[in-house]
Amino acid sequence: MIELDSVYGAFTLLSSDGNAWLYLLPGLLIGLVFGAMPGISITMAMAFALPATLYMDFLPAIIFLTAIYTGAGFGGSVPAVLMGIPGTSSAVATTFDGYPMARKGLHSEALGIALASSVIGCLASYAMLFVLIVPISGVVLKLGPLEMFAVAVWGMLLLGSLAGAHISRGILAGTFGVLLGTIGMNTAGFVRGTVGIPWLLDGVPQIPAMMGLLAASQLIGLINTTYLIEDESSRKISFAKILGGVRQCFRYPTIIFRGSLIGVIIGAIPGVGSSISNLLSYSETKRNAPDGDTFGEGNPKGVIAAEAANSSSEGGAMATMLALGIPGGGATAILLAAFAMHNIVGGPSFIAHNKDIVYAIMFSNFAQAILLFFVGLGFVYVAGYVVRVPLRFLIPSVLVVSTFGAYAIEGSSAGPITLWVFSVLGWGMVRYGYPVAAAVVGLLLGGLLEGNLLRTNQISGGDFIGYGLERPWALVIFALMIGSILLQIVSKRRRAKEAFLSTGSSS
């Protein structure tokens, strides 16, 4: 599967144009800064940079854009950890444990863990891409609505984990989120719940709604606190602790590997991508961890799971784009546009005729991941100073920046309006003990769930079981899902028994 001639060609290509490497650092920095701004998505960061690449050669242009992609993928995690605001929708699961860690004064460790898992996840995904690009592309297009529905259901299992003390409230919040996710015109052309507001035809704007639910509700709840971290002595930014977090990450190779695998596979499916993969990886890790109950209270494993998956989705999305010429999401659509600007058309013929370029892109991404580690270290060190800002300055500033971000992403006042409506909603949910995160997951998955269930109904003519039996991949996904739940029940029983035995013997 690896062709040495092309690999050699790739090295020649990369070493021939030294200028190409000059764009690596600015690309990463632009990505980090834009990704860290709440509301600025990876796609927007890349779209801003796209016109500049017109004046570059093909290879530098692609290296520049993919560097932004890599940088922005991690940048979104920085505010997720420090303030509980996911900078991009792919960092939602990072907030679940990263933010509690930061509140406990473990912000340096959390950022170190996030950075290291992102870098390893990114490296792992491109390494997998190296061997998987051809088989992945063969499978991806064959995934039908039932398979996508199965993936969405798998994501919904996370609701059980997010529910907290009252499982019924978790399910209620999740259902509410799904209902919100179905607002607008559905895939068959029906319009629901828009109450006559034209911009709701495309559904509730997801990113402003998510920012409102997760972030503003948290910040409003903090109004009587003076600093993010109560304990003054913990409010230090320590390089040693960041590096400690990096080391901590290496203790959980299984979590990283699982996260990367989920990330590559989910990332490769067009229209799903990193915003779903981080949720899936988090929920799988929580289910399989012996200390699963402490997830959500600042367990580093949660951060590792989320970050490994969202950064490795980049590799999966690139596989689909390179092998099929199909953009899996906004970011790869921009990359394809950049290809087109240089008169290169992606797709099967591209990969067959330009293996050296494909490998060159992969190798430059290895370099990006490694460089991201060093640039990221500096970036999180500086960003960490946020914890020293008194909340009376921080809360209004963040709300203002979020409002700008919400405007920027929607291009109209629909963004800020959504942000504020959902902030109030989120605050109310927190106040009355409903898990906000469950509503966010429902909102993110609602459209996917509904659209694919509807298409499954259309395609099968109503005969779900008969159609399901013809779809081996859907059966595999459902089997994996059920297996994972059973495994959890078995291991929980075993642990309970062990705990019972040990307490029994000691007393």
Partner 1 sequence: MSKTLTRRTILKVASGGLAASFAMPAILRAQGAYPDRPINIVVPFDTGGYNDRLARAFAPFLQEKLGQPLTIINRGGAGALLGHTFFLQQPDDGYTLLCTSAAPYLPLNILTQDAAFKLEDFYMVNLPSQDYTLMATSAGSDIQTVDDVISRLKADPGSLSVGLQPASADLVNFSILCAANEIDTNAVRVVTYDGGGPARNAVAGGVVDVGLVGGEGFLPLAEQIRPLMTFDTRKRDNWDGAIVTDVLGADADFVVGSQRGWGLHGSMQTSNPEVFQTLVSAIEAASKDPAAIEGLKNQQLATDWYGPEESNQMLARTAKVMEQYIDLLKGN
Task: Indicate the residue among 123 and 406 with the shorter CB distance to partner 1.
Answer: 406
- Of 179 and 408, CB closest to partner 1: 408
Nearer to partner 1, 58 or 404 (CB): 404
Binding site for partner 1 (CB under 8 A): 43, 47, 51, 140-145, 185, 187-190, 198-199, 201-202, 270-271, 324-327, 330, 333-334, 336-337, 340-341, 343, 345-349, 385-386, 388-390, 393, 397, 400-401, 404, 408, 411-412, 451, 454-455, 458-461
Taking the complex as a whole, how short is the minimal distance between the CB of residue 207 and partner 1, in angstroms?
14
**Distance (Å, rounded) from C-alpha 71 to C-alpha 76?**
9
Min dist. Cβ of residue 187 to partner 1 (A): 5
Two tokens, residue 466: 């008969």
Minimal distance, residue 410 CB to partner 1, in Å: 9
Give 247's DSSP letter.
H
Evaluate whether 95 touches 279 at the Cβ level (below 8 Å).
no
Minimum distance, C-beta of residue 481 to partner 1, in the bound complex (Å): 21
Nearer to partner 1 (CB atom), residue 327 or residue 426: 327
Nearest residue (CB) to partner 1, 298 versus 346: 346
Distance CA 430, CA 426 (A): 6
Nearest CB to partner 1, comparing residues 119 and 326: 326
> Can you tell me the distance from the alpha carbon of 327 to that of 331, in angstroms, rounded to the nearest whole number?
8
Upper half-sphere CA count for residue 215 (Cβ side, 13 Å): 36
Closest CA to 124 of 369, 300, 320: 369
Q: What 3-state class would DSSP assign to 324?
A: helix
The smaller minimum CB distance to partner 1, of residues 93 and 444, is found at 444
**CA dihedral sign of residues 422, 428, 434, 436:** positive
CA 116 vs. chain centroid, Å, equals 15
Give least dist CB 43 to partner 1, A: 7
Answer yes or no: are the C-beta atoms of 71 and 32 closer than 8 Å. yes
Tell me how far, at minimum, the Cβ of 456 lies from partner 1, in Å.
Answer: 9
SS3 string, 390-443, reads CHHHHHHHHHHHHHHHHHHHHCCCHHHHHHHHHHHHHHHHHHCCCCHHHHHHHH
DSSP string, 157-193: THHHHH-TT-HHHHHHHHHHHHHHHT-EE-TTS-EES
d(CA 457, CA 299): 40
Nearer to partner 1, 476 or 482 (CB): 476
**What is the distance between the alpha carbons of residues 80 and 97, in angstroms, rounded to a whole number?**
9
What is the smallest separation between the CB atom of 463 and partner 1, expressed in angstroms? 10
For the bound state, the minimum distance from the C-beta of residue 464 to partner 1, rounded and expressed in Å, comes to 13
Shortest spacing between CB 384 and partner 1, in angstroms: 11
Cβ 201 to partner 1 shortest distance, Å: 4
Amino acid residing at 274: S
CB 221 within 8 A of CB 240: no
Classify the C-alpha dihedral 38-39-41-47 as positive or negative: negative
Residue 83 CA to residue 85 CA, distance in Å, equals: 5
Nearer to partner 1, 237 or 280 (CB): 237
Q: Measure the N-to-C terminal CA separation of the chain; round to a whole number of Å.
A: 60
- Measured from the CB atom, the residue of 184 and 296 that comes closer to partner 1 is 184
CB of 56 to partner 1, least distance (A): 16
> Looking at beta carbons only, is 342 or 492 nearer to partner 1?
342
